[in-house]
Amino acid sequence: MNGPQFRRLAETARPPVRFLLDGRPATALQGDTVLTAVLTCQSSLRRNEFSGQPRAGFCLMGACQDCWVRTAEGAALRACSTFVAEGMSLVTQEGVV
Write out pLDDT tens, residues 4-53.
888 888 888 999 999 999 999 999 999 999 999 999 999 888 887 788 88
Question: What dihedral do alpha carbons 79, 83, 89, 94 form, nearest 10°?
Answer: 30
**How far apart (Å, rounded) are the C-alpha atoms in residues 22 and 19?**
10
Confidence at residue 45, expressed as pLDDT on a 0 to 100 scale: 86
Distance of CA 2 to the CA centre of its chain: 14
Which among 33, 35, 46 is positioned nearest to 1, based on CA atoms?
46
The pTM of the full predicted model, rounded to 2 decimals, is 0.85
pLDDT tens readout for residues 55-77: 887 877 778 888 889 999 989 99
